[in-house]
Amino acid sequence: MNKVILLNNRPHGKPTINDFKITNTEYPNAKDGEILLKTTYVSVDPYLRGRMNEAKSYVPPFELHKPIQSGVIAEVEDSKHENFKKGDFVLGNLEWREYQTSNGKGLEKVSSHDAKLSSYLGILGMTGLTAYLGLINVGLPKEGETIVVSGAGGAVGTVVGQIGKLLGCKVVGITGSDEKVALLKSTFKFDYAINYKTTQNLKEAVKSACPEGVDIYFDNVGGEISDAVLANINQYARLPVCGAISLYNKTEVPLGPRLQPILLTKSATMKGFIISDFSKDFPSATKQLTAWLNEKKIISKETIVEGFDNIPQAFIDLFDGKNQGKMIVKM
Ligand code: NDP
């Protein structure tokens, strides 16, 4: 038995469990120049929602009735490839499949000696790099400034906030539950956190949390939350646009306030980025994140769901905020 998860339908609005199909395929064997991989950890990420649409984006759409792919940590079960041996662990963009073969292209070896294996999908992987490089390269933080981060309780947000604090900034997080508000303040040492689901007037809540105004808004969610933060930005504010999860399931894009007057009058810079824009900085950023992690200056938070069959539900749960930190599925 070798289970695989296919895209069964292109989701309309929020994905449902019926948009995925779990089926059985043959157990593969490694040919010369190949390795046989056993999936160990699977990353579920909001950006995968965009790949489920037909529309072309910065990554091609998933094909209907074909396996879904994401960041995966896998163990080498058998090797006919000179660069890999049985027992190695690799990180790569692989299929949601229990066992698969690979020619090794695009795979990076990872070791549990250096860090927890799952952290290569989170704080030492794509989301940690996004937080660090998005904040440093686009947010341009300076000591004493005020950073607001939305999606603050998630994989990217928890790291943005912690790095902001390390750099001597004031950090305010916006998140979707009282439990996450408490976590941000106690574990992650945010100066303030706001529950956007229970706050009546978000614009006023941001104003009162940031009496000196907002210098950097690290935007993970877009939509009305971002409108409320934008109303509070300072002169020369920087707004790294990292994600827009509040809009990913919309079937029609809602019309928001026109941004030009505020960007103009505040001489503010709003800049979207995709983490691959900064690929040349990955080695130095990974080194810095690893050092901070080892020195316990930053903490890695993960929500681990168990079982291959639960991958689709773990992905859907991202849109209900069921994760704290990085959402990962363990086999
Ligand atoms: P998270 O770990 O933050 O998980 C998603 C979180 O989003 C949920 O936990 C939920 O938390 C929140 N959320 C879900 N629906 C809504 C909504 N309608 N409005 C507001 N918040 C919502 O995900 P990541 O940290 O992996 O990603 C965060 C963002 O960064 C995403 O938008 C993602 O697409 C983007 N991203 C961009 C990258 C890039 O290269 N630019 C790379 C990686 C991620 P809550 O309880 O607070 O609602």
Is the distance from CB of 196 to CB of 175 less than 8 angstroms?
Answer: yes
Residue 244 Cα to ligand 1 middle (Å): 7
Residue 220 Cα to ligand 1 middle (Å): 6
Q: Cα(76)–Cα(80) distance, rounded to whole angstroms?
A: 10
Is the distance from CB of 322 to CB of 301 less than 8 angstroms?
Answer: no
Residue 298 Cα to ligand 1 middle (Å): 20
The CA-atom distances, in angstroms, between 256 and each of 61, 223, 227, 260 are 27, 7, 8, 12
pTM over 0.85: yes
Instruction: Give the residue whose CA is nearest to atom 11 of ligand 1.
Output: 321
Rounded average pLDDT over 23-29: 97
Close Cβ partners of 173 (under 8 Å, ≥ 6 residues apart): 148, 149, 150, 152, 153, 157, 161, 181, 184, 188, 190, 192, 193, 194
* pLDDT at residue number 144: 98
Band of pLDDT at residue 114, cut at 50, 70 and 90: confident
Ligand 1 pocket, Cβ-based, cut-off 6 angstroms: 45-47, 126-127, 130, 151, 153-157, 175-177, 180, 220-221, 225, 242-246, 273-275, 318-319, 321, 323, 327
pLDDT value at 330 more than 90: yes
Instruction: Give the residue whose CA is nearest to atom 18 of ligand 1.
Output: 246
* pLDDT at residue number 331: 98
pLDDT value at 58 more than 90: no
Residue 2 Cα to ligand 1 middle (Å): 31
Atom of ligand 1 nearest to the CA of 246: 18
* pLDDT at residue number 55: 87
Instruction: Give the residue whose CA is nearest to atom 32 of ligand 1.
Output: 243
pLDDT value at 260 more than 90: yes
Atom of ligand 1 nearest to the CA of 134: 41
Atom of ligand 1 nearest to the CA of 324: 9
Both tokens of residue 168?
Answer: 């001597």
